[in-house]
Each structure stands twice: as C-alpha cells, then as structure tokens.
Structure 1
Amino acid sequence: MTILVTGATGNVGRQVVRELLARGHAVRALTRDPSRGGLPDGVEVATGDLAIPDSVAPALDGVTAMHLITFDGGNGAALSTGPQIARLAAKAGVRRVTMLWSGEPGPVEEAVAAEGLPWTTLQPQEFMANALLWTDSVRTEGVVREPFGATRSAMIHEADIGAVAARTLTEDGHVGKEYVMTGPEVLDVPQKLAILGRALGREIRFVELTERQARERMREAGASPEAIDHVIGWYADPPEEAYTVSSTVERILGRPARTFAQWARENADAFR
C-alpha cells in the first residue's frame, strides 16, 4: 500500500517518512517546496499545498493511508481546508488517517471524523526540536535568552513521534484513539541547557527575559499578535499534559522514549 505523508519536509514529517520506509512501506511525500530536499532515497515526492486542496488531489491517487498535519505549513495556523481534504481522502479510498494536532483539537479533526475516515490523533507536547531556536545564540555567544525559565515540560523527540505515527498507520488497534505523547522526563530551561552544555562540552549561560521582552522579540521577528499570545500563554501556563510524563511512546513502541540527552548528542553539531 502507498502511504501519503503531508508536511514531509518538517521536523516530524521527515521522521514519519524514515520510519515507514524502514518498515518496508511505499511512501509518497507531499511538500509545498520539493527543492528543500533532504528526503531519503526511495520516496516518491509529490508537490502540493494543503491550503489549496485541488493541488493535493493527484497525490492521493492510489493512497490507502495518510499522515495529515492539521495546520498550515506556511503560517502555522489551523488548517481551514479540512473538509475539502477529508472529502478528497474519502473519495480516493484512504482507509486510515493519523492526524498531528496543532496544539488543540480543531476543524481538521472534526472534518475527518465527519467524513467517516478511520482516524488516530497524535497529541505530542513540546518538541525537543524547539531547542534548535537556540542555535545562533549558543553558537555565537554561549547564551540562551528565554522567558519563564522555571516552566517545566516533558519534551518529546521528534523521531519518537514519527515512530508512533508509522505504527498507528500500519498496525491495527489504534483507530479512534487520541494519543498524548511526551518524553520520559520533566525539565525546566536551566536543566535543558545543562544537558545541552554537556553534549557540547561547554557551559551555556541562561538569561531570563521578562514577558514584555519576549513579546517584543517575537514582534520584531514578524510573529502575529495571535501567535505571540498563543506561545507566551503556553509557556506562562502550560497544560498539565505538557509536564506530566506519558507512557504512550513506550506502550506503543515497546521501548522507552528517547531522552533530551540523546537528542542533544544527535544535534550537537548544529550548536557548534
């Protein structure tokens, strides 16, 4: 069977592709920009944009399962074309869908369920890959500047998300499930930096921003007021699921979830 992976060049999408290939499945990778490349050999690349449903229709031909992101890859907002995408998937004969949520249930999940497609929702909390936002300041100054240093989260390795997605797409027993997913430990910002520093062999200094400073930094970077409120609100008062370790990864994969120390070692070169 052919499995379509949307958002295939994103942090999670790439991992879904790799895991499916490793399990011997035919993979079609949907991306808005094939020039970003980096996809493994053996993947069929299809150009399409979930925000433009007609562009996705050809990529669904012959597809029996689909990994679907529920947000617009261009701006991160909730995808407004869920009903059209769900209808196209049902018409194409898709028999299983995993949905990567945007942080809260939304219109895509509703549309997929309304269309009668067998679904599984993946609800990972904070991605370890978010730490890549620190690469420039760590590389040039040996410092990280963030607000809410005491905020604790059970960050999840994006490869674990990809592995769970591959299992739920190709194995029985997951239809209708909503999987909250975390890593195996709860860490605050200084603890994360200590772990990253050990991987780099040097200390990383933490400078705590005020909320006002953090908002201004995001405004200067071009973030919308809605995006700023969402991000700042999450870190100021994260949901309980974000700092409560979940057993989902270990239960589905039969092994412990990867630690932040593993992620730091794997990605150390990005900070050097």
Structure 2
Amino acid sequence: MILVTGATGTIGREVVRRLPADLGVRIMAREPARVVGAPAQAEIVYGDYGDPQSLVRAMSGVRALFLVTNRVGEDDAHVIQTARSAGVHHVVKLSAAAVADPGAEDLITRWQRVNEDLLRGSGLGWTLLRPRSFMSNALSWTESVRTDHVVRALYGSSANACVDPRDVAEVAVRALTEDGHTGGIHTLTGPAAITAVEQTAEIAALLGRPIRFEELTCEQTRAALRRRYPEPVVEALLQSAQRQRDGAKAGVENTVLELTGRPATSFGTWARGHVAAFASG
C-alpha cells in the first residue's frame, strides 16, 4: 500500500494521477472531497497531521509514503513517529533545493533542514526530493495578464531554474514504486534558468499580444504577501527572493533526465499547456 499526502496540492495531485492503476493506493486529505484524478481503486481517507488517530488509521498497512508538509511546525515529527510505529518502510519527502544552499537561512529553509534530519535519523528508508520553485507559480499572474496585460513581480531580471510540477511528480512516483531510490537526494530543476521578464515574453508570444512587465518594490511585495501569510513566512519568502536576486537559484541539474530518460520540461512547453489560463475571457 502506498499512502499519498498533500494530494490536493501542486505536486500531490500530479502524483495521484500518475500512480499505476494496479497498485494499492490510499490518499489522505483534510478535505477528501477535494481529491480529484485518483485511480478508481484508490482509497481516500480523512487525515490531519494534528490528529494523531487519523494518522494511525491512514498508515495502517502502508509500505511507502509520499510526504508533503507546508506548515512550519511539528507536522513532520508527528508523521515520522507514526510511520515508524506503523511499520512503513520508505518515505519519499518533498523538500526544497534551498536546503543545500549554505547561504539560505530563512525560516522555511531552516525548517526543511530540520525535517530532513528527522527523517534521515528515523531508521526509516527515505528519499528526498529537492525541487526549485514550480513553473506553476506563474499562474498567480493570470488575473493581471487577463485584465491589465501586465505581469507584476519582484526582481524581474533574477533567474530561477524552475521546474514543471509534473516532472517532480514523475520522479516521486518512480521513487515510490521502483527500487534503487532509498537514501537518494534528488535535486530537481528545469532545463534552464529563466527570469520573470523572460517568462512574461514567452507568455506574450503564446497569446499573440503584448504583455508589460512591472517591477514590484520590496514593500509592495511585502504588503501583498501579508494578505496571505503570517509575518515570519513573509520575511522568509522575501529573503528567498533576495537569494534568487543574488544568483543562488540559477543552477541547473540533469536529475529529471537521469531518472526519467527524458529532458526536464521547459517553461515554454509548460506555458503552452496552460496558455488558456492567461487568455482573456
């Protein structure tokens, strides 16, 4: 039995869609009704990292676990403890590429380092996935592109080797279903680093109309982030953006090619598949 967490999120939903139909699959979600695209035979159950009994029920009989956490706190510790007690053999954890950057000391990266150390010291089999930021983050621009023909972002000329979430999911499924991944650390990037200005130009070309790029200030970005996140997370995200401005996120890895046998998806290819989201109604 494979247990998938985070199945309503960016990577988890793609993992669910790619799991072979002949495997035993259980999907844990706080809102099971939001799970879409699951294999017909998949078992969908309620579970919350803050509800110990729900974790125990979800992990009963589980061999491999896909672990996604996004709240800074003790969620990983709760899951790992339960997994060990339940006899789970292998945990594939979604982490972040910044963990390996010695200059990255923001709250979120430090939290992920702690989580990785917990897993590696747990006695469980483990695989770490460390993606760069997701190409799908560009979907946050859809409203401004449709209504104002503009992309607004911080540090528009800074490059990021962002990755297609579907590539991350494919690697995750391989790690869950194939031998040879235990103890592996897979850093996942796109095939080239790209800036927000360049992304804007690619989207404009696909739409066949001009799109203007507008550089946000740090204060404008901070104000926008405060509408979505608590202050410590806001500051962590701003520090991460500064690391990108300094060139820390431009490095490209060939991991997707090495593990899947095909090159990582380019931003242009990702954008072609999502161009309808940016088109005017």
Fold equivalence (TM over 0.5): yes
The partner residue of 1:115 within 117, 122, 131 is: 122
Indicate the RMSD between aligned Cα atoms, in angstroms: 1.8
Gap runs ≥5 in structure 1: none
Do the aligned partners of 1:9 and 1:39 also contact (CA within 8 Å) in 2?
Answer: no
Give the match for residue 105 of structure 2.
none
1:179-232 CA-to-partner distances (Å, cap 9, x unmatched) read 11100011111101111222223222111111122112222x142221111111
Do the aligned partners of 2:159 and 2:247 also contact (CA within 8 Å) in 1?
Answer: no
Q: Distance in 1 between matches of 2:147 and 2:260?
A: 38
Counterpart of 1:208 in 2: which secondary structure? Answer: strand
The partner residue of 1:40 within 18, 38, 41 is: 38
Pairs within 5 Å for 1:47-126: 47-72=46-71, 77=72, 79-101=73-95, 104=109, 105-126=112-133
Give the match for residue 172 of structure 1.
179
Q: Which amino acid aligns with 2:18?
A: E
Deviation at 1:37, TM superposition (A): 3.3
Give the match for residue 141 of structure 2.
134
Instruction: Flag the 1:30–1:143 CA change in 2: closer, same or farther, 3 A.
Output: same
Deviation at 1:40, TM superposition (A): 2.9
Q: Distance in 2 between matches of 1:50 and 1:108?
A: 14
Pairs within 5 Å for 1:136-151: 136-151=143-158
Q: Which amino acid aligns with 2:11?
A: V
Are residue 244 (structure 1) and residue 251 (structure 2) matched? yes
Q: Which amino acid aligns with 2:277?
A: A
The partner residue of 1:268 within 272, 275, 280 is: 275
Do the aligned partners of 1:21 and 1:27 also contact (CA within 8 Å) in 2?
Answer: no
Q: Which amino acid aligns with 1:36?
A: R
Give the match for residue 26 of structure 1.
24
Counterpart of 1:243 in 2: which secondary structure? Answer: coil
Work out the percentage of aligned pairs sharing the same amino acid: 38
Q: Distance in 1 between matches of 2:248 and 2:173?
A: 23
Q: Distance in 1 between matches of 2:247 and 2:66?
A: 26
Q: Distance in 2 between matches of 1:198 and 1:63?
A: 47
Q: Distance in 2 between matches of 1:97 and 1:243?
A: 28
Deviation at 1:60, TM superposition (A): 0.8
Which moves more between the two structures, 185-194 or 33-42? 33-42
Counterpart of 1:237 in 2: which secondary structure? Answer: helix
Q: Distance in 2 between matches of 1:231 and 1:147?
A: 11
Q: Distance in 2 between matches of 1:193 and 1:35?
A: 35
1:226-254 CA-to-partner distances (Å, cap 9, x unmatched) read 11111111112228662111011110001
TM-score with structure 1 setting the length: 0.91
Deviation at 1:175, TM superposition (A): 1.3
Q: Distance in 1 between matches of 2:52 and 2:118?
A: 14
Instruction: Flag the 1:200–1:56 CA change in 2: closer, same or farther, 3 A.
Output: farther
Pairs within 5 Å for 1:149-188: 149-188=156-195
Moved runs in structure 1, 4+ residues, more than 6 A? Answer: none
Are residue 201 (structure 1) and residue 208 (structure 2) matched? yes
Counterpart of 1:11 in 2: which secondary structure? Answer: coil
1:105-129 CA-to-partner distances (Å, cap 9, x unmatched) read 3333233223200001100011011
The partner residue of 1:232 within 222, 232, 238 is: 238
Pairs within 5 Å for 1:207-218: 207-218=214-225
